[in-house]
Chain A
Amino acid sequence: MTDKRFIVLITLIFVITILSGTLVIVFFYPRIENVTVFDDFTIESEQLRKKNSELSEQLISLRQEKEALLSTQSISKKNLEELKELEEISGIREVSGEGVIISLGDNENAPVGSVNICHGSNIRDIINILRIPELEVRGISINGVRIHPQTSINCFGDGITVDTNKLYVPYHISVIGNDEKIINAIKTKTLAPELWKEIDNEVVTLDTTRTNILKLPPTRTNPQMQFLSPTPHENP
């Protein structure tokens, strides 16, 4: 074999090795249902958000229509009251009453850095406190986004996501419940030691405001019950 042909052969082997590595990544890369690795995620995410927002509004409108229809039927008052209470607790129905607004934000005096801002874990610690039964909490929203029993709160860039809603500081957590007990619980350091470390280190600021009139909208994304059932499945 000549030198030239040998070099061509070596180059070919090199290129084949690179291509093989790339093919391994493409075919064994984990896939999300209906989405491939090479799709434009940003555009798809925004389109999905828009679609979800439209569906959510249509759903709210349909529910109002259903409620109006139900009021024309002779339905047991007890059944209706029970359903209404359950829908309020699960976030599906609007709820109003007196309560507290808890405001969390970044301390402007804290050194610049991604660890020195208010994070999703700070919000989760507050929500954890609000779950105490004695506080009589009937509804919670964060910057106008109602939460439900399956709500997840995560960091996203320089903000947080509450389910799929992107929110930024300051975070106003509106709570309907026993305002005095709520404020006392929030200020009890032993109930949220991790949060109070951040406050004492002047990374995060916390304020509470009592309010007589709070109105929390229904949740935009309902709790999911695709697999959950109140009765056992036949032949699981």
Chain B
Amino acid sequence: MKIPKTKIHIRKYDIINLTLVCVGILVGILILAIAQHQNEDNYTTERDTTLHFLSETSLLIRENQALYQDYIQTKESLVDSKNSAEANRKTQESSLKLQALLGRQKAYGPGTIMTIRETLPAYLFTDIINDLYTFGAEAISINDIRIDYHSNFSENAITKQVFISSIPISAPYTFKVIGNAENLYQILSKKNSTIRRLIDSFGISDKIEVKKEAEIELSI
């Protein structure tokens, strides 16, 4: 037998139903927000982040892959070292690679180009470079000035002019970064990533452009 539907009956159940659905959606959003917050690296000071355990694990995995690759290559080169001609060739090859790493030779490779169209203080460049290396950069240049083991960032206290090893640089700053193009692109374009939050603390998120490149050339 059908229960006669009265106006009051339907309204009561509709309200309960709607309330429960809304609560369910809100709880879902809350879970998402908490998970998102836990994924972010935490800032302990303006310039420092506490590396999240996900970032730490990522670093360890990358280190493991690089060590394993080095181990295999060094083991192979032991065979080559038994032959003078081959040993000479390999020595020169190793020198050339290290020269490219150290900025004494041009460097080539896939990567990402980031352009910032706003003046930044010198210390921020130190932090950005540090973060780029944390997330897999292998070689970097800023406004076509190669960043190497002798690159020092300084600033004139009065004019606020920034220098890279005594060479003045001004905005826009073009960071050319050789490394895993996809990873670097993700890190540099995601607005809540460590590097972007560092830069965005200056309120310049709309003045940053990022693009992937199949081949970047870094000059000496």
Contacts and interface: CB of A to CB of B under 8 A. Distances in A.
Given A73-B84, A74-B84, A228-B107, A22 B31 contact: yes
A163 B60 CA distance: 9
Contacts, number: 278
Contacts of B96: 230
A161 B87 contact: no
A80 B97 contact: no
A6 B12 CA distance: 12
Contact of B56 (A10, A30, A55, A161): A161
Contact of B63 (A29, A190, A221): A221
B71 A21 contact: no
What interface size band does chain B fall in? 35 or more
Given A20-B28, A70-B91, A149-B101, A115 B44 contact: yes
Given A121-B127, A221-B66, A87 B98 contact: yes
Contact of A190 (B68, B82, B157): B157
Please classify the interface of chain B as helix (H, G, I), strand (E, B), loop, or mixed, using the class held by over half of its residues. Answer: helix
A11 to B, nearest CB: 8
Nearest to B65: A226
A229 B32 CA distance: 42
Contact of A155 (B27, B50, B59, B100): B50
A133 B165 contact: yes
B35 interface: yes
Interface residues of A, number: 93
A225 B96 CA distance: 12
A231 B97 CA distance: 9
Nearest to B22: A17
Contacts of A212: none
Contacts of B84: 73-75
Nearest to A17: B24
Contacts of A164: 56, 59-60, 63
B20 A14 contact: yes
Contacts of B214: 236
B154 A191 contact: yes
Interface stretch (A61-69, A103-111, A168-176): A61-69
Contacts of A119: 44-45, 47-48
16 contacts: A21-B27, A35-B61, A48-B63, A59-B71, A79-B88, A119-B48, A125-B123, A132-B150, A133-B150, A151-B133, A152-B130, A161-B51, A193-B155, A227-B110, A227-B178, A229-B108
Given A121-B47, A132-B152, 20 more contacts: A21-B24, A29-B39, A34-B61, A48-B60, A59-B70, A74-B84, A86-B98, A87-B98, A121-B127, A128-B126, A128-B152, A131-B152, A131-B165, A149-B101, A151-B133, A152-B134, A156-B50, A221-B63, A224-B62, A228-B178
Interface of A: 2, 6, 10-11, 13-14, 16-18, 20-22, 24-25, 29-30, 32-35, 41-42, 44-45, 48-49, 51-52, 55-56, 58-59, 62-63, 65-66, 69-70, 73-76, 79-80, 82-83, 86-87, 89-90, 92, 114-115, 119-121, 124-125, 128-129, 131-133, 149-157, 161, 163-164, 190-191, 193-194, 221-233, 236
Interface of B: 3, 13, 16-17, 20-21, 23-25, 27-29, 31-32, 35, 39, 44-45, 47-51, 53-54, 56-64, 66-71, 74-75, 77-78, 81-84, 87-88, 91-92, 94-102, 105-111, 123, 126-127, 130-131, 133-134, 136-139, 148-155, 157, 165, 178-181, 214-215, 217
